[in-house]
Amino acid sequence: MLDADTYEEVEADRTATGQALAVVVLSAVAAGIGARGWTGGSATLGLVANASVIAILTWLAWTLVMFQIGSRLLPSRETRTDPGQLLRTLGFAAAPGLIQVLGVVPSVRAPVFALAIVWALVASIVAVRQALDYTSTARAIAVCALGLILSFTVAVALGLVFGPTLSGSG
């Protein structure tokens, strides 16, 4: 969903952190299942577990980086936030990743993954705007762009460390 009011509710609900974590894990599982054709094998329990760990670590890293960028580097006068608010909103912004499970159908795999990525990025912009109390979408886009670059770097580093395990070699 791209509804700002929904993200405001999630931001304020301290009990929703576990639900946000579940969304991140389920999105990673959906991606693991949907990507099985690209990996040349089946979505084994080990592959799904490792992908889930990487997704959680990337979510945590992205949230903390975006918190630093949004609250310290690019705050607005209205910005009042804590990492938990961003964890919750960004966790729920990962929900579009659930459609990646449809990637099991080879003819739609690439479009489904592309849609999920774009949709989750747009949802992240809405989530950041609400969690950081921005009135400017441009400021939220800037935070997400910088956060995306840094979290991608972390994901690549984790992939290099865990890559042999994920591919089944090593």
Mapping DSSP onto H, E and C, the string for the chain reads CCCHHHHHHHHHCHHHHHHHHHHHHHHHHHHHHHCHHHHCCCCCHHHHHHHHHHHHHHHHHHHHHHHHHHHHHCCCCCCCCCHHHHHHHHHHHCHHHHHHHHHHCHHHHHHHHHHHHHHHHHHHHHHHHHHCCCCCHHHHHHHHHHHHHHHHHHHHHHHHHHHHHHHCCC
To the nearest whole percent, how much of the chain has pLDDT over 70?
91
Mean pLDDT (the chain, rounded): 87
The CA distance from 139 to 87, in Å, is 19
Residue 28 has pLDDT above 80, yes or no: yes
pLDDT tens figures, 37-85: 665 555 567 777 777 788 888 888 889 999 999 999 999 999 999 999 9
Kindly state the average pLDDT of the residues 83-106: 94
